[in-house]
Structure 1
Amino acid sequence: MRFRSKDDKSTIIYNSYIMITDIPAEAYEYVVNGNSAIEWVMERYQVSTHKKSGIENDPNDWGREHGKSRYVLDLLLSVVTVSVRTVGVVKGLGSITF
């Protein structure tokens, strides 16, 4: 998973066959642990290999083992939707005066 370019976060290239487009900029305003929720999922759900042991960590393995091969893709799409909706709700809240 990666962005189309450093300057264009409206498109995520999921793999060589799947591209998620038209992600609104406000989706990245929903922040978890210092990163947008979308970027957090992209970072955590990458296929990686441990340098010393050579063990590969592929988050897609769980989905394949449980018959849910779209698990990571569906998670990413859900996080995009939740991010957009959450930002909209938060912007719609009135300010609180103490």
Structure 2
Amino acid sequence: MADMTDALPLDLPEADPAGDGDNITDWALEQFQERYGAEITKDDIWEYVYGVMHAPDWRERYRHDLQRNLPRIPLADDFEAFRSAGRELMDLHIGYETVGEWRVECQVDGETDEGDAEDGAYRIEARMRWSKRQDKTEDRSVLLVNSRCRLVDIPQEAHDYTVSGRSPLQWAIDSLRVKHDKASGIVDDPNGWHVWADEPFNLIRHLRRLVTVSVETARIVGGLPPSLPERDTDD
């Protein structure tokens, strides 16, 4: 699933210093209310748009346009399905640091572990990486945190949701690594500056939460109806 890297805020304080500016115009509100009912609010539309922008058929239709234009939002047949999905997705993606942990097993030295090992058992030594199968291909059901600690039985759905081409777990692998700047001698060590600096097992909790975000996003997106009205599907 490809994703846009630009973000559009709901509120536009620079448009109205009093705080009444927003990114959904009164004209847009009128269009939605005319189609779906007078009770529709701008917050409803914002959630609806977020839901639509995750719809597989919408992404496929506008995959090229999204690289150069603002998104085109259809008036789908089922407004509530996309509004509800958008709300769920917002809660997941904004609150990714506090969602429940997906119960992937943590192992230290081959034994199941829930934070009982010494702190060093959970430290990132250089960078995390995927395990390898006998044929040398990546086994993305197993994440090697370091030489002693691993997460096992990561579900395939954890890799189906991607942001700019990478799953949340892959983003963690690529960004949470020890970096040495040869010119300055500065070492950028995530073990010391992240929220798990004082409680290293929090790294494992963080990774489990990323699995939750990915799996739940895939579930929500998989349950979406078509976003493009039937009369438009052959255009």
TM-score under structure 1 normalisation?
0.85
1:7 paired to 2:138: yes
Measured on the aligned residues, the alpha-carbon RMSD in Å equals 1.5
Instruction: Provide the rounded CA distance (Å) in 2 between the counterparts of 1:37 and 1:50.
Output: 25
2:167 corresponds to which of 36, 45, 52: 36
Letter in 2 for 1:3: W
**Structure 1 residues 2 and 33 mapped into 2: Cα distance closer, same or farther (>3 Å)?**
same
1:23 paired to 2:150: no
Q: Look up the SS of the partner of 2:147 in the other structure.
A: coil
Number of aligned residue pairs: give it. Answer: 96
1:60 paired to 2:182: no
Instruction: Provide the rounded CA distance (Å) in 2 between the counterparts of 1:72 and 1:43.
Output: 15
| Structure 2 unpaired stretches of 5+ | 1-127, 230-235
2:225 corresponds to which of 66, 78, 94: 94
Larger radius of gyration: 2
Structure 1 runs of 4+ off > 6 angstroms?
none
| Structure 1 unpaired stretches of 5+ | none
Letter in 2 for 1:87: A
Give the deviation of 1:71 after TM superposition: 3.2
Instruction: Provide the rounded CA distance (Å) in 1 between the counterparts of 2:208 and 2:160.
Output: 16
> Could you tell me the percent identity over the aligned residues?
36
Give the deviation of 1:88 after TM superposition: 1.0
